[in-house]
Amino acid sequence: MSDTESPSEASAHEHHEHHHDVEGPGYATPQAAVEQSEREKVAYVMSLYVGTDVDAPDFLAVVDVDPESDTYAEVIDRVEMPNVGDELHHFGWNACSSSCHVEGLERRHLIVPGNRSSRLHVVDTKNRENPEMVKTIEPEEVHDHDLSAPHTVHCIPDGEILVSMLGDADGDLPGGFLELNDDFEVVGRWDAPGDIEKNYDFWYQPRQNVMVSSEWAAPKVYQPGFDMADVEAGNYGHQLHFWDWENREVVQTVDLGEEGMIPLEVRFLHTPESTHGFVNAALSSNIFHFWEDRESGEYRAEKVVDFEAREHPDWDMPVPALPTDILLSMDDRYLFGGNWLHGELYMYDVSDPKNPRRADTLSVGGLFGDVQELGGRDIVGGPQMIQLSLDGERLYWTTSLYSTWDNTFFPEEAEKGSVMLKADVNPRKGTMTLDEEFMVDFGEMPNGPARAHEMRWPDGDCTSDVWQ
Amino acid sequence: MTEYEVELVWEGAEKADREANIATREDETVLEAAERADLGLPFGCRIGHCGSCTGRLLTGDLEHARRPLALKDRHLDDGYVLLCIAEPRADCRIRVGVDVQRELVSNPWK
């Protein structure tokens, strides 16, 4: 039974009941998600107008990803935000597999933050194809806790929600974490102010009593755009913070150094037994593996993938790869990611996490991609946010990073809009194949060309679900 | 009540130039006055850290009501202003629109 179906609707799906050994949302184990999930039929996609000439609110796009449908690969609904200028970026579910023991809780509401506005929106997806905005938390209520610039949303067990916040009430440092309850009310600040300075993404592994958080920069630094003077001034992050999950305090900070500049997406392996994970250092174009050393009980981090800069005839300096997103397949077998500037998707076998093995790559979009056009339009920008089907067989991606950064590196994206593309993955062979039939053109939206960022599926995805 | 005349100028490479005149009331920001006149100017945080509303003061005088954190000294020296927190202190002429924000930074590798 899917999370948002009422019991009466579920009667039509009773053939699923024998699989359903959890009382709440999600799946009993990561492998159960692989086996029991149905193919994704819609995708929710953050879509935005910030930094373009279009004077319209950002929106949550509902994309039809069901090949049996007449509207396959089209945006079939748009949930507009009540204000302009939010910069929708990352978003998350009210509940995931970490609450699979909580009877009656549903994976149904999306928490959709505005990264510039500090406004939080709650969208009800009971009707999956036509979700509905049900609540807005205004910026002033967020600023009251001396926080701004919401980023990653993870539900935490028992229906509460944690949001990483990149700045204080002025858009300066320190950032922190904001906690919401299961009625989507602000509970308050989750962490002790000043325990960290910079913040970005986080992931928690409750069985190991650990949370890890990464670092971008203060909102006042990254929001106006990427300025090398800020790198030289030390305004960009290069550390990972390991927290005592129960006690909500940082117990260890690991400095990744020069090779670990701007560590972004932190992904623990899905299996709750593991202390291994990965993070992409975007500016240094490296991927780090981190793990708990069993003897000392301390976390360590080591660079395991290094992407070389490439010469481009129109650029004065070698172009860095800029790996801006990574994820782990639900079976923890593969790490996927994208090099946004170069225009490359990669798939690493991480069955030995200390020694990732490059399984396959796709050269598409960006500055060097072999494929620069699809469905009759230019692909502007390389692979950026990625999302994988729960069964690991379909990888989707969008092309916008952040409005001001897009405008510096791929300025045409403001006029042409983003695209959402797809590759078919063979997890047995370790291969990816570009699906040339699939392209969602965000250049063709009613209010004008839009950017597209993070994607999620209604039944959970590889970047949402955590197990206790 | 002190009112100042503010001329807003859109100068984009790919679109026709456009101008509009608005008047600001006492302690009113340029963005608030533009909204009162139903003119869409870009904005984001509304408290001076994100830079979405960046304009460039061509003539006149204005004060930022709080610290313009999105702008560095070099931007302030060049006349860039944050319209969400900028209150005129004289009649002003200001270049506006998303293109102004894009001038704050450039690609360091190109």
Each residue of A293-344: pLDDT tens digit?
999 999 999 999 999 999 999 999 999 999 999 999 999 999 999 999 999 9
For residue B12, what pLDDT band results from cuts at 50, 70 and 90?
A: low
pLDDT beyond 80 at A205 = yes
Give the nearest partner residue to A51 out of B14, B46, B98, using CB atoms.
Answer: B98
For residues A29-51, give the mean pLDDT: 97
One DSSP character per residue, A89-134 reads ---EES--GGGTTSTT--S-EEEEEBTTT--EEEEE-SSTTS-EEE
pLDDT value, residue B79: 98
Chain B residues with beta carbon closer than 8 angstroms to that of A140 = none
Please report, rounded to a whole number, the percentage of residues in chain A having pLDDT higher than 70: 95
Nearest CA in chain B to A310: B109
Answer yes or no: are the C-beta atoms of A289 and A300 closer than 8 Å: no
Distance between CA atoms of residues A252 and A240, nearest Å: 8
pLDDT, tens digit, for every residue of A231-282? 999 999 999 999 999 999 999 999 999 999 999 999 999 999 999 999 999 9
pTM: 0.95
pLDDT value, residue A21: 57
Quote the tokens at residue A174.
């320190």
More confident residue, A25 or B105: B105
ipTM of the complex: 0.96
Q: What is the mean pLDDT of chain A?
A: 94
For residue B2, what pLDDT band results from cuts at 50, 70 and 90?
A: confident
Give the nearest partner residue to A408 out of B14, B43, B107, using CB atoms.
Answer: B107
pLDDT, tens digit, for every residue of A123-178? 999 999 999 999 999 999 999 999 999 999 999 987 899 999 999 999 999 999 99
Instruction: Choose from B45, B83, B109 for mutation: most chain A CBs within 10 A.
Output: B45
Q: Do A317 and B109 touch (CB under 8 A)?
A: yes
For residues A376-399, give the mean pLDDT: 97
Handedness of CA A111, A99, A175, A141 (dihedral sign): positive
Chain A residues with beta carbon closer than 8 angstroms to that of B54 = 224
For residues A66-79, give the mean pLDDT: 98
pLDDT beyond 80 at A10 = no
pLDDT value, residue A270: 98
pLDDT value, residue A23: 76
pLDDT beyond 70 at B14 = no
Give the nearest partner residue to B69 out of A118, A170, A319, using CB atoms.
Answer: A170
Cis peptide before A174 (omega within 30 of 0): yes
pLDDT value, residue A2: 46
Beta-bridge partner residues of A241 = A213, A253
pLDDT, tens digit, for every residue of A354-383? 999 999 999 999 999 999 999 899 999 999
